[in-house]
């Protein structure tokens, strides 16, 4: 029977990072994955250029930018393996990158450069990778574990679970990591799709259908949480970075408040135009400030009609409300089919924040997205995968 020190389940961002680090410490490492290719989510991420980290992540803002039942859990790993550490790795390998807005870092070339680098580093450290290998069971055996796979059983001193979340099942996402956690008695914080487009009920869709494809910078608010980013109207509801971000906070029944023209006093400008250019239809006057279809939509939502000259100050105040405080209540999300990540997962209460080891099951580790740590859009989720993988790789 094959024996090794560390078996890693999942050859994604977190699993490959943990494998490299453990192998560099001289541990015999085997990374298993049921997919045909490793790191598939790295390959498709960031439009093929992988938004691999975020330069603006700090210890101070991490508890806000990572959602978890215990937002402080991620701090230890994130402060020991930082964005600068991953950047240094890419720089040393000659992988060029650039910064987009809000500190988001992307490869200049293809995301596959990062996968190739991780695979090279794993091989160089002596780690082994077995693809197209399904995992049947993980059981305790003495002090270690017996992992039963489609390629035969493996005895391992440590098992690192890095099987990711549930999003995009057709790319190999599965519930294996959650099932293993439950079998060993670890709590699972309820999972739900996050960083995901939100959907409207039929009657709302009928009103917003003409706006499908329209994108604009907005200020999107849900309670105290708000994001100043682009919003995109779709034929199912709303998407774009602002919506993906707020989707991690949104729950069924919540109403979103949207400022469709942040910082523009459009109603004030219309009030000034009322005397000089009052003969034009209200929606035409508004179309000088907003895209035409949006102008028509806003006027209809405010239930206003007629010429600009006919609008009272109260009417313009109603229009102002629709522009700056548009209230919208999605009914659901597009689900795991399109979600970028899974909120919830293996409870951080069950894990050691420094090592990612299960407190009650020595030798069993959980890293990456399978853990109840979910980052904002913009490179935060890969940074968690690198950092948690690195942390487990130092000790497993």
Residues that bind ligand FDA (CB under 6 A): 9-15, 33-35, 40-41, 44-46, 50-51, 134-135, 162-164, 167-168, 172-174, 176, 340-341, 368-369, 379-382, 385
Smallest gap from Cβ 81 to ligand FDA, in A, equals 14
Smallest gap from Cβ 37 to ligand FDA, in A, equals 8
Smallest gap from Cβ 215 to ligand FDA, in A, equals 18
Smallest gap from Cβ 13 to ligand FDA, in A, equals 4
Instruction: Using CB positions, name the residue nearest to ligand FDA.
Output: 12
SS3 label, residue 158 = strand
Closer CB to ligand FDA, 311 or 383, in the complex? 383
Long-range contacts of range 283-288, CB-CB < 8 Å, 24 or more positions apart?
286/319
Closer CB to ligand FDA, 241 or 368, in the complex? 368
Closer CB to ligand FDA, 219 or 357, in the complex? 357
CB 167, CB 341: distance < 8 Å:
yes
Smallest gap from Cβ 78 to ligand FDA, in A, equals 13
Closer CB to ligand FDA, 36 or 303, in the complex? 36
Q: If you count them, how many residues does the chain have?
A: 396
- Which three-class secondary structure string do you get for 67-99? ECCCCCCCHHHHHHCCHHHHHHHHHHCCCCEEE
Shortest CA distance to 239 belongs to which of 277, 196, 186?
196
Judge residue 213's burial from the number of C-beta atoms within 10 Å of its C-beta, 0-12 exposed, 13-18 middle, 19 or more buried.
exposed
CB 303, CB 319: distance < 8 Å:
no
The distance from CA 374 to its chain's CA centroid, rounded to whole angstroms, is 7
Q: Is the dihedral angle over the CA atoms 126, 132, 133, 136 positive or is it negative?
A: positive
Closer CB to ligand FDA, 163 or 322, in the complex? 163
CB 133, CB 172: distance < 8 Å:
no
Smallest gap from Cβ 321 to ligand FDA, in A, equals 36
Smallest gap from Cβ 283 to ligand FDA, in A, equals 37
SS3 label, residue 3 = strand
Closer CB to ligand FDA, 134 or 327, in the complex? 134
CA dist 143 to 5, 135, 139, 184, 364, Å?
Answer: 12, 20, 11, 14, 11
Smallest gap from Cβ 50 to ligand FDA, in A, equals 6
Closer CB to ligand FDA, 135 or 304, in the complex? 135
Q: Where are the alpha helices (DSSP H) in the chain?
A: 13-24, 40-44, 59-65, 75-80, 83-92, 112-124, 176-183, 202-208, 241-247, 266-276, 282-286, 292-301, 313-324, 380-393
Closer CB to ligand FDA, 51 or 355, in the complex? 51
Shortest CA distance to 76 belongs to which of 388, 394, 389, 380?
388
Smallest gap from Cβ 66 to ligand FDA, in A, equals 11
Closer CB to ligand FDA, 27 or 65, in the complex? 65
């Amino acid at each position: 029977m094959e024996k090794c020190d560390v078996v890693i389940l999942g050859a994604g961002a977190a699993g490959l990072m943990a494998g490299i680090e453990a192998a560099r410490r001289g541990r015999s490492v085997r990374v298993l994955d049921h997919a045909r290719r490793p790191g598939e989510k790295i390959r498709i991420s960031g439009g093929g250029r992988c938004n691999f980290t975020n330069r603006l992540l700090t210890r101070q803002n991490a508890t806000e930018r990572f959602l978890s039942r215990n937002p402080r859990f991620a701090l230890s790993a994130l402060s020991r393996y930082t964005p600068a550490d991953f950047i240094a790795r890419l720089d040393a390998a000659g992988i060029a990158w650039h910064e987009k807005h809000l500190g988001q870092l992307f490869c200049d070339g293809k995301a596959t450069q990062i996968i190739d680098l991780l695979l090279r580093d794993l091989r160089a450290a002596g780690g082994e990778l077995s693809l197209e290998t399904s995992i049947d069971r993980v059981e305790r055996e003495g002090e270690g574990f017996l992992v039963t796979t489609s390629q035969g059983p493996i005895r391992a001193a440590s098992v690192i679970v890095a099987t990711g979340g549930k999003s995009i099942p057709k790319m190999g996402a599965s519930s294996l990591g959650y099932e293993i956690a439950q079998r060993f008695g670890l709590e699972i914080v309820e999972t739900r799709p996050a960083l995901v487009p939100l959907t409207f009920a039929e009657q709302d869709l009928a009103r917003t259908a003409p706006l499908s494809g329209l994108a604009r910078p907005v200020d999107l608010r849900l309670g105290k949480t708000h994001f100043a980013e682009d919003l995109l109207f779709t034929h199912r509801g709303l998407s774009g970075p602002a919506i993906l971000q707020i989707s991690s906070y949104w729950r069924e029944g919540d109403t979103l408040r949207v400022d469709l023209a942040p910082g523009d006093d459009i109603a004030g400008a219309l009030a000034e135009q009322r005397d000089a250019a009052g003969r034009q239809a209200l929606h035409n006057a508004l179309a000088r400030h907003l895209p035409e279809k949006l102008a028509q939509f806003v006027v209809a939502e405010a239930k206003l009609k007629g010429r600009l000259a006919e609008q009272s100050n109260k009417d313009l105040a109603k229009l102002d409300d629709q522009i700056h405080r548009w209230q919208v209540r999605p009914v659901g999300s597009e689900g795991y089919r399109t979600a970028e990540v899974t909120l919830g997962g293996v409870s951080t209460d069950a894990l050691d924040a420094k090592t990612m080891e299960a407190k009650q099951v020595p030798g069993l580790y959980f890293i990456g997205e399978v853990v109840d740590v979910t980052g904002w859009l913009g490179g935060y989720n890969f940074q968690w995968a690198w950092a948690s993988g690195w942390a487990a790789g130092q000790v497993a």
